[in-house]
A = this chain, B = another copy of it.
């Protein structure tokens, strides 16, 4: 069975029951169908004295096929909840609960190439089909709010441009939650006097917008409006920034927030193992911070002992950003980190070609221990990096059908030699039962609520933007130095002059390499990273450092998934994976 079939065959519990078990009062639940709901956080019980501990699931440098971080996040949550009910439950864990917190899928990849993003096999959040399609409408609300802003900006130009915006400097693009290459670069406002002011303006996919980042970093409606109002639209001819708060008599943040107010409530669903899961928000992990909403994680912390959450791409991207940006904004220092590794991805990092890996069927004679041994350096560096944040690290070896026992044994033994807790996870095939070993390893090292987290950021408060970039490049990536393209060097000076030099930095780098070159795999050292451009994002509260071309509007492949999707007269969908 594929993911869609497994999901369709499952018997789901009504979301009202899931909520009840999670301690959510009935009057705090806003149903969307029978199996999804938003939670009105104002109607939750008083927060507990010690909110749930946050466990970050991250990964090694990904291969094009993905390593299953979402799948492990779901399976581990189910494993933790199974274990808490088991007779041999660890003493501090008996009767306790875990909740998963994940990002929402974007419609772009669902109809493009990547397919859905709700985990896989028996480790899925469900109802898979609804979550992968419109879900509770959050991304549509974000798209609408963002495009309302853009329409207000062009209306401002059309009505005389009282703010003196230089149209060539307008940096916000319009948004669609669609993979649409042809909208990357456009000219708008054509047609004469009554049709607006002609200018260049492209489209981004919704998940790449600053509005999405703001939505996910906001702690509540007031913080949302404050952040929206700080977003920079563009600049005047004398380079003064013009913000969302400057538009019209009251700023545009009020109208945007009207469109976002319901969306900001976290979405409750369930895993196939019956755990409660919040699936909410979904910013890119390159140009943005790549984690689910802070409102979702904080809601889950009020309701459970452990919140298992994940961040996009590898530990050098989503992991670093979770440690240095998301957890700081949310006020939840992570208690531990789980790094998902696969034999397959390590062998790719060790020099094997993707085509060769794809031919692998799992026969013993096809094992490639040399490639695995060469590639494990990638895992080693990710482990060191996460440990450097002061949190315990557990390795979850996510088993693929073609992995051999010898390969899995070698990798487990390697972890043991390094003193790193590790276990094989078989979550795709077995759900939570396949994650019990990982869950045990995690609970063995997880600090108690009383002990608290040993987390500390890579950065200190008085570091400049350049200091922060240097810290990431040298301490996380393993590089030796940072170079700045002329434009970026100039932007550094401008940031300092304008008083933004204290902001955190959001690195936009290829996910495939520790370097800025996607072809350099493994664990390279002695390289420099070139920062090409810096983007000021005061709404999100960070400066984006671009180290290469970042695609903010994906295209459709030669054979889009959409080509093979259909729905019958009874509403049964085919082709959605």
Contact = CB atoms under 8 A, between A and B. Distances in A.
A12 interface: no
Interface in A145-190: 147-148, 150-152, 154-155, 157-159, 174, 176-190
A556 B185 contact: no
A157 B567 CA distance: 26
Given A220-B569, A255-B111, A180 B134 contact: no
B177 A195 contact: no
Between A157, A186, A568, A569, the greatest number of chain B beta carbons within 10 A of the residue's beta carbon is seen for A186
A562 B145 CA distance: 11
Contacts of A331: none
A163 to B, nearest CB: 14
Contacts of A195: 181-182, 184-185
A184 B191 contact: yes
A181 to B, nearest CB: 5
Contacts of A429: none
Contact of A137 (B140, B151, B259): B140
A184 B197 CA distance: 11
Contacts of A255: 111, 562-563, 565-566, 575
Oligomeric state, in copies = 2
Contacts of A258: 133, 565-567, 573, 575-576
B152 A144 contact: no
A279 interface: no
Interface stretch (A65-73, A244-252, A485-493): A244-252
A189 B148 CA distance: 23
A34 to B, nearest CB: 7
A357 interface: no
Interface residues of A, number: 81
Contacts of A351: none
Contacts of A566: 250, 254-255, 257-258
Interface stretch (A25-33, A267-275, A394-402): A25-33
A556 B182 contact: no
B134 A262 contact: yes
Contact of A252 (B32, B140, B201, B562): B562
Nearest to A146: B178
A555 interface: yes
A359 interface: no
A570 interface: yes
A42 interface: yes
A88 interface: no
Contacts of A187: 186-187, 190
Between A134, A155, A176, A566, the greatest number of chain B beta carbons within 10 A of the residue's beta carbon is seen for A155
Contact of A567 (B141, B158, B221): B221
A190 B183 CA distance: 8
A447 interface: no
Nearest to A160: B558
A565 B181 contact: no
B182 A152 contact: no
Nearest to A265: B571
Contacts of A185: 189-191, 195
Contact of A182 (B107, B197, B558): B197
A257 B566 CA distance: 7
A30 B33 contact: yes
A451 B425 CA distance: 71
Contact of A569 (B34, B141, B158, B222): B222
A181 B154 contact: yes
Interface in A234-266: 248-250, 252, 254-255, 257-259, 261-262
B186 A190 contact: yes
A538 interface: no
A254 B190 contact: no
A16 to B, nearest CB: 10
A548 interface: no
A180 B147 contact: yes
Nearest to A564: B250
Contacts of A222: 569
A560 interface: yes
A151 B252 CA distance: 29
Nearest to A141: B134
Contacts of A34: 30-31
Contacts of A254: 565-567, 575
A261 to B, nearest CB: 5
Contacts of A189: 181-182, 185-186
Given A111-B148, A130-B262, A158-B182, 6 more contacts: A147-B178, A148-B178, A154-B181, A184-B195, A196-B555, A250-B564
16 contacts: A31-B31, A31-B34, A107-B144, A134-B144, A140-B144, A151-B179, A151-B182, A154-B180, A157-B182, A158-B555, A185-B189, A185-B191, A186-B190, A252-B563, A258-B565, A258-B576
